[in-house]
A and B are shown apart, each in its own frame.
Chain A
Amino acid sequence: MSIEKKKVRMNKQRRATTKAVRIDPNIVLTVQDLTKTYTVGNSTITALSKVNLTIRKGEFIAIVGPSGSGKTTLINCLGALDFPDSGKIIYNVDGKGMGLDLAVMTNKQQKKIRLRKIGLIFQFYNLFPILTAYENVELPMIIDKKGPKDREEKVKFLLKRIGLGERMHHLPSQLSGGEQQRVTISRALVNDPLIILADEPTGELDTETTTNIIKIFLDLKNAGESILMVTHNKRIAKTADRVIILTDGVFTHESKGGKPIEDIYKQ
């Protein structure tokens, strides 16, 4: 058996030990001692080192750090796109306090969480270029086997709400960067996730469009959505309820009560 196959089998065995725990029903997600390392050649790089984080319902959290600080690794681990070496990622899966640890779920459970409980937004939008805005938003609902009537109602509602009602049958190549990101936000919301995870959502956008996207995030937060955004842009991070600084895989500072971010850096 190849080493890779062995690894997969071990992973499956490890993940088959899922057990629900009770958590505070007002918490969406709690992360405990999350550690992730990568091996490059002969050296080991620690991308995340014992990271702890709790996100409450309706909170908008920004994690700020330079390139290589571990931001995307964090989003990938929380989004079940990558798996930590150790630590826990406990989601309030039913919204009532039933906590399940992503790290020890079966592949099938992880797929469900990824599809139904997490809305992912990426820097480069990651839209499927041959599908229209409408079809791109519809996609997670099709994968989740939702019926055509539900899909039509939901997709049209979301695209109209985000200001793309007139452009829903356009292809990504016919949309501006800001419009493409709005399609991505709609796609992230389509299965009513517990949390939105956004990886540098304004990284490709100009200042004005960036401001518009952040306004959308604030509207979503005010409508009760929970959002975790990672960014290197301190200006937009300031708009969040809480700002956490990530440096070399470690949370070094956190803002308290809306303190300006410059003050956090001075600490």
Chain B
Amino acid sequence: MRKEKKEKKQEMASQETIDYELDPNAIIQTFDLAKIYNITEGVEIRALNGINIEIKKGEFVSVMGPSGSGKTTLLNMIGALDNPTTGAVYIRGTNIAYMDDAQRTNLRLNEIGFIFQFYNLVPVLSAYENVELPMIFAGRSKEERNRNVKKFLDIVGLSEKSDHLPSELSGGEQQRIAIARALCNEPSILIADEPTGELDTVKGMEIIRLLRELNLELNQTILMVTHDPAVGTLAERMLKMRDGKIIETITTNN
């Protein structure tokens, strides 16, 4: 255990010597980001292979690519859910590799809002309680929690269903609750991993329209992963991935 920590410190120290060019307007910047999995001795998979991206405040960016291209791995690195093998992720000018566990938890709770393909709501809690949850862990007061739960349930159009359990809601409604939960701590960036993956086309488009509204009306920065071109092209900027690399960046007219 101690040895591991020592190695990690040495690794971090070696990274510290690299001078990255930081953009003060960027919410997210990644530099030569790589994630390598050693399957067996001598056999490795490069899930990410040198990713450099920059996302500015108020941007809506989609990441597209086939299954296995590294999309979700990239989101997990940016969201501090996993650690890169080499390279760096900066969130609002801070290298997340230098954060301790408490700072990373704080980052996940306050700076980043997450939306997942399978919604990941807590089944035994009501819609209201699910939205409230990250605020409890962030130590927000009861008044603030109450205010924000109501505010964001209203924004996603589900104020009427605050007492309902996830099992009493449709897939689209569950994803809306997940969006309200992701926004309740008013994060700098909303990260969405295949948010329409479990929904039919109509419901999926409703979710994307909601994300676009949040982006335009609240200036919410959004990074979304999808394999669906119809969904991906609705963002302002589209990053195409293949084999752990970004192979193309497309600016749409949205």
Footprint of B on A, CB under 8 Å? 76, 79, 81-82, 107, 111, 114-115, 120, 122, 124, 126-132, 135, 139-140, 142-143, 166, 169, 171, 173-174
Contacts and interface: CB of A to CB of B under 8 A. Distances in A.
6 nearest A-B residue pairs (beta carbon): A130-B108, A81-B167, A173-B81, A114-B124, A130-B114, A126-B123
B210 interface: no
A115 B168 CA distance: 17
A81 B116 contact: no
A137 B46 CA distance: 33
Interface of B: 1, 76, 79, 81-82, 101, 105, 108-109, 112, 114, 116, 118, 120-126, 129, 133-134, 136-137, 163, 165, 167-168
A190 B94 CA distance: 36
A135 B137 CA distance: 9
21 contacts: A79-B124, A81-B123, A81-B124, A81-B167, A82-B167, A115-B124, A120-B123, A120-B124, A126-B120, A128-B120, A129-B116, A129-B120, A135-B105, A135-B137, A140-B124, A142-B137, A143-B125, A166-B1, A171-B81, A173-B82, A174-B81
B124 A130 contact: no
B137 A131 contact: yes
Nearest to A140: B124
Nearest to A169: B101
Contact of B122 (A76, A79, A128, A166): A128
A126 B165 CA distance: 14
Given A126-B123, A130-B79, A135-B137, 8 more contacts: A81-B124, A114-B124, A128-B133, A130-B114, A131-B137, A132-B105, A166-B1, A173-B81
A129 B14 CA distance: 30
A143 B129 contact: yes
Contacts of A115: 124
Contacts of B82: 173-174
Contacts of A81: 123-124, 165, 167
Nearest to B116: A129
B166 to A, nearest CB: 8
Nearest to B119: A126
Contacts of A169: 101
B87 to A, nearest CB: 18
Q: Which of A76, A129, A173 has the most CB of B within 10 A?
A: A129
Nearest to A82: B167
